[in-house]
Structure 1
Amino acid sequence: MPHPAILTVIDGVFVYRREINPLPANINLRNRAKSLRKAGVLSEVIFWLHVKNGLFYKIDFDRQRIIGNYIVDFYVKSLGLVVEIDGTSHNSKLEYDLKRDEFMKNLGLIIYRISDLRVRHDLGNVLNELKDFIKNEFGDSCSD
């Protein structure tokens, strides 16, 4: 069986697109998502400056994407990957995050969490770890 289309190559590893069914989106959250983009949480802005417009291995990231009744920090449609930057507000929302993660997983999405503090103080390693995660989760180094 042939592989799906190649999205990019990272360190000699072919990263493949995933087929994801169309996602539900509560259109009533559009204004909230827009205001979140404008508000610009520092760690999200820092991360965005390094991944927007395909800067991160030509991978297209969406910012403040509506999925169902939730707004995720970043979404990679071609991989079905949700990237969440968790600040201190998530410490008191464990049950909410678990419910949200379960919803995302039931849609076939993969969630990758990053600490707000690490984005602000250790961005190089954060991006390397994300790169390795994408290679391990969505890639293979053989051409089969």
Structure 2
Amino acid sequence: MADPVTFARKLRREQTLPERRFWALLRAWRDAGLHWRRQAPIGPYVVDFVCKSRKLIVEIDGDTHYSDTGVAHDAQRTAYLAGRGYRVLRFTNADVMQRGEGVFAVLMEVLGDPVDES
């Protein structure tokens, strides 16, 4: 892999449809003042979305994450991030694309009502 910053820039330019949809779901919290970053390097990893002020990372997982290798890699990655104080939430591509209201509801539970943030 290229250095994490170069890799993150490439991923931001080539966001998947579920990642773009999730970014749109975050709009209410972004508009309320919570700063989110897309494809952000943290240590040796590039996370899909991070809100550093809330120490929250959200990963949007495709099919490759559900192989034995993918599960093992994600466990190692999550342990690394948790060791730095982050909470990691994971949603599947299907969750974001087909159950966006459920993803939004989970975000409401974790982040609170975005209207109360402003």
Higher helix share: 2
How much does 1:107 deviate?
0.5
2-side partners of 1:125 and 1:50: how far apart?
11
Q: Over residues 57-111 of structure 1, what are the superposed CA-to-partner deviations in whole Å (9 max), with x where a residue is unaligned?
A: 4322110010010000000011110111111110120110010000001101111
Corresponding residue number in structure 1 for 2:115: none
Unpaired runs of 5+ residues, structure 2, are 113-118
Corresponding residue number in structure 1 for 2:116: none
Corresponding residue number in structure 2 for 1:17: none
| One-letter amino acid of the counterpart of residue 91, structure 1 | Y
2-side partners of 1:29 and 1:125: how far apart?
31
Size of the alignment, in residue pairs? 108
How high is the TM-score relative to the length of structure 1? Answer: 0.69
Q: Which has the larger radius of gyration?
A: 1
How high is the TM-score relative to the length of structure 2? Answer: 0.84
Unpaired runs of 5+ residues, structure 1, are 1-26, 136-144
1-side partners of 2:5 and 2:106: how far apart?
31
Moved over 2 A (4+): none
Corresponding residue number in structure 1 for 2:107: 130
Corresponding residue number in structure 2 for 1:29: 4
Residue 114, structure 1, aligned to residue 91, structure 2? yes
Residue 82, structure 1, aligned to residue 52, structure 2? no
